[in-house]
Amino acid sequence: MKKMMLRLKKMSRKKKIVISAVIVLALSVGAYAFFGFGKDSKVASATFTPSIVRRDDLAVTISGSGTVEPVARFDIVALVKGEIIESNFNEGDTVRQGDVLYRIDSTDASNSIQKQHNNVEKAQLNVNTIKENIANLKVKAPASGVLTDFNVKVDESVRADRIATIIDKTNMVATIPFNAGQISKINEGDPVTVTSALYMTTMKGKVTYKSNTPSGSQDGSSLYKVEISVQNPGSLAPGTSVGATVHTSQGDVKSPVSGTVENGDSTPVIPKVSGKVIKVYVKNNQYVNKGDLLFEIDGTDYTESYRKAILELQDAKLSLESSSKELEKYNITSPIDGIVLSKKAKAGDTIGNSAGDRDSNLMTIADTSKMVFNLDVDELEISKVKVGLLADITADALPNEKFVGQVTKVANEGTSQNGVTTYEVELTISDPGNLISGMNVNAEIIVEESKDTLVVPVSAVTGIRNGYGYVIVRSDYVEEDLSGPEQRRPGGDSQRGESGQRGNSPSNAQGGENSQRRPGGDSQRGESGQRVNRPSFAQSGESGQRANRPSNAQGSENNQRRTGGDSQGGGNTPAPTATPQTNEGAPAQSVTPQNSGNTQSRGGTNMVNSDLPEGYKRIRVQIGLSNTDNIEIKRGLKEGDEIFIPSTPSSGSRNNNQNFRMQGMGGAPVIRTQGGGGNFGGQNNRR
C-alpha cells in the first residue's frame, strides 16, 4: 500500500484524476449491483393489521405481590401467676372488645388490696389529726366572760391542761326554793320577776330548771329548788339574796323564802396541744368574747409532721393504685373485636413462674374484618405511590374472586440491596371476603386512570414526542387540524430552520470557500463549525447555520459536493432539479425527482409516507396515558375509526437510505426517487 501511495505522488495531476475516476466508478457500479439500484423499492411487501378506535378504561399501574395477614393480631399473654378459674371462649369464637377471656384466681391479690385500703385510711386520719393540731396552735376563748386565773407567759411551755377559767358575770343564776303546792304550778320557761331587797331592784328572768327532789326547811316543810336565769344589771354580786315571783299559767307564784344569785357559766381554758408559747394576746381578769385569740404555740414540729404525714398518705394511695391495677391483670379481656385463632390454656391450668413470657401465651385473637399486606416498590416508581390510591387485587388460591385494596402507608425510608433500593408500601383490603391469613395475593396499584376514553394499541402510535404521535390511516381519511408543540416525523428527528432550527424544505445549496463535503458524509460545516443537514446538494454558509432555501445552487471553485448524507427533508415545495458542477466547472447530470403524493405537509411539519404503500398515510394525534397494551387518544381520531398497525418491518426506508449512501460514491451526484420521491420526505435516518 505504501508503494502504491509513493507511485501516486510521482504521477502527474492529470493521471491522478483519471485513476481516481476509474476507482470511484468501479465502487459505484459494485454498490449499485449490491443494493439493487434500478429496482422499485416501494414497500410492496409490508402488511398491516387493522384496528378500530374504541372506548375503554385505561389505567397505569404498579404491580407486586405479597402475603395477606389480619389488620390486627394479638397474642394474649398472662402477666400474673395463678390458677385459671374461668375460660369462656374457644377457637373460632367471635369476641368483642372488653370480653373476659380468662379469669385467674386473685385471692391473695384481693387481700393485699384490702390491706392497702386500710393503710390509706390510717394515713388519712393521721393527716387530719396533725392538720387539726396545727389549727389549735392558736388558743382561743371557748366562751364569753371574764378570764380568770390566767398566768401564761411567752417562751413558757404549756400542756393540754387547765390554764384559766372564763366566768360569765352577765348572765347570773338565782336559786330560789318553792313549796310543794307551788312547784306543781311552775314549768320550765315560765317568766320570772327577781327582786333584790338589798339593791332595791327588780330583774327579769326565766325558769331554767325545777327540782323534783324536796329538801327540808327549818319549819319542817318540804321545799323544791328552782333555778332562774337572770341578766346582771351590773350591781348584783355573787351571793346576793333575792326573791322571785313566777308568772305561771295558773297565776303568779311567789317564793315563800329568799334564795341567792351566783355567777353564770364557768368555762375552763384547756389548750389542745402542747408546746412553747410564742405570743400572748390577753391579760388576767380581762373580759373576752368567745373566739378571741388568747395566745399562740410554736408550730414548727407540727408543720414538719404534717408534711411527713402527707407523703405517707400519697405513698399509701400509690400502693393501693398499683395493687388495684395488678388485680385487673387477673381478669384478661379482649383488646379488639375479632375471632379466636388459637387457644392454648383452659380452666384449671396453672400459670407458673414464666408470667409475662412468650411461653405463657394463652390465646391468639385477630381482627379479620380487614387484611393488610406489603409490597416492595422500586425507587424509580415510589414517587407515584400516594396514600389513598386504589389497587386491584387477586389471589392465587381464589382465581374467581377479585378484591379492592387501598394504599394506607408508604415508607419514608427505603431498603437497599445489591444496589437496588425499594420502599415498603402497605395496602389494606377492607372487604377480604374469603381471603385467609397467609394467602398470596397479586396487586396492581392504579397510579393514573382515565375512564371511558378513546384507546388504540400502543404499537399503533409512532414518533411520540411532547404528547403527540402518528398513526396510519387510509389516504382518504380527513384528519383533524392539531396545533401543538414542535412536530416530530415518525421514525426520525424533526427539521430545523435558520439559526440552528430544523427546516422543512429541501434545497440544493452551495458551499462557501474551502468548505468541502466528504464522500458519504451527512453534512457540511461552515466557518462557524455548525452542522448543516440537507437531503440534497447542501452547502455550508458563512454563518454555518442551516439553510431552508428551496433553490438550486452551485458550488464554488473549491467546493466539491458529493451526495450520500442521510438527512432528508420534506415540505410543500416541489422536488428540486439539481445542476451541480464539477471542479472544472462543467455542468453535471441533472436529476428531477417526482412526487407521487406520499410526501405530505400538515401545519408546517412534513410527514414522510414514502415507506407506506399507496392508499395509506400517517396523521398526527394527541396522546395521553399509556400502558403496555393501549394508549389514550385525546385528539385526532374518533370512536370507530380504522387505523393500521404494521405487522412486518418496512423495507422502503431501508432502500431509501441505501440509495442515499451509494449516491455519495460517484463524482457527480445521482438521486434516485422511488415510490414518488421518497428521498425528499421528512425522516432523518442517520445510523
When computed from its CA atoms, the radius of gyration of the chain, rounded to whole angstroms, is: 61
Whether the pLDDT of residue 680 is over 80: the answer is no
Per residue in 38-95, pLDDT (tens digit) is: 334 444 345 889 999 999 999 888 999 999 999 999 999 988 888 999 998 999 999 9
Long-range (24+ apart) CB contacts under 8 A made by 28-37 are 28/662, 28/665, 28/666, 31/661, 31/662, 31/665, 32/662, 35/655, 35/658, 35/659, 35/662, 36/655, 36/658, 37/659, 37/662, 37/672
Above 70 in pLDDT, residue 185? Answer: yes
Question: What proportion of the chain, given as a percentage, has pLDDT over 90?
Answer: 51
> What whole-number distance in Å separates Cα of residue 664 and Cα of residue 657?
11
For residue 322, give the C-alpha cell.
Answer: 398499683
C-alpha cell at 604: 408546517
Mean pLDDT of 460-489: 82
On the question of pLDDT at 401 being above 90, the answer is yes
User: Which amino acid is located at 606 in the chain?
Assistant: N
Q: Which residue has the higher pLDDT, 494 or 277?
A: 277
If one compares 584 and 202, the residue with the highest pLDDT of the two is 202
Question: Which grid coordinates belong to 125?
Answer: 386520719
For residue 569, report the phi and psi dihedrals to the nearest 5 degrees. -125, 150
> Can you read off the three cell numbers belonging to residue 353?
413462674
Angle at 365 between CA 321 and CA 376, to 5 degrees: 110
Alpha carbons 586 and 219: distance in angstroms, whole number: 190
Instruction: Give the pairing of strands 398-410 and 420-429.
Output: antiparallel
Which comes out higher in pLDDT, residue 160 or 499? 160
* Residue partners of 315: CB distance under 8 A and separation at least 6: 123
| Structure confidence at residue 199 (pLDDT) | 79
What angle, 0 to 180 degrees and rounded to 10, lies between the N-to-C axes of helices 300-328 and 107-135? Answer: 160
Nearest to 460 by CA among 451, 471, 452: 471
Please name which of 405, 423, 406, 404 lies closest in space to residue 414, comparing C-alpha atoms: 423
| Alpha carbons 547 and 444: distance in angstroms, whole number | 51
Average pLDDT rounded to a whole number, residues 420-448? 94
DSSP letters, 15-45, are: HHHHHHHHHHHHHHHHHHHHHTTTS--S--S
Give me the pLDDT at residue 334, please: 92
Kind and range of the H or E run holding 606: strand 605-608
SS3 397: coil
Q: Give the mean pLDDT of the chain.
A: 75
- Kindly tell me the sign of the dihedral angle through the C-alpha atoms of 616, 618, 621, 624: positive
